[in-house]
A and B are shown apart, each in its own frame.
Chain A
Amino acid sequence: EIVLTQSPGTLSLSPGERATLSCRASQSVSNRYLAWYQQKPGQAPRLLIYDASSRATGIADRFSGSGSGTDFTLTISRLEPEDFAVYYCQQYGSSPLTFGGGTKVEIK
């Protein structure tokens, strides 16, 4: 099983600042089959990025993903008020599918 470790656990930033979230895998994620999701309280996760760097339909271009192998990054270039939420990475290259523990982006 691929274990995904996200860091930091919590990121305290102000609107307009840049957010950099990390996701490290315990073994290589095949074909960059890694996604990022945003989750707000009481809601289901929402797909932001798939295949490590492709933005999902309707996702603002301030969200970008990068990385390969075992190290992946989600960057939010300028935080908007609606971006304060919890972010999860997930790999779908090998079974069982697994999620990271999440990074909470909170208002400083």
Chain B
Amino acid sequence: DSGVTQTPKHLITATGQRVTLRCSPRSGDLSVYWYQQSLDQGLQFLIQYYNGEERAKGNILERFSAQQFPDLHSELNLSSLELGDSALYFCASSVRGLAGGPLDEQFFGPGTRLTVL
């Protein structure tokens, strides 16, 4: 158990719908990262928040958005869902998230499996 929690574990929805994925980082971690993992593809970085502010962005679609709240939990919002959005969505957290820092390994949550029908 990494200490990172994600809800829900599974989500099944229809095309065109909107969903919200939730992540609670490890106690004391300030950075939250979101990744998408489609079948047969590697982990694709979506977005990072550090202490409530957006810090880095990957190839995140405009239909997707995220935020980090004052209690440091984060939510990833996916809207106008398409079949191709079906994937495992992972959240990870790390302590510092500051460039040039030491190890600062990322700890991954169990993921949310999204199925769009």
A and B from one assembly?
Answer: no
Chain B contacts to A: CB under 8 angstroms: none
Chain A contacts to B: CB under 8 angstroms: none
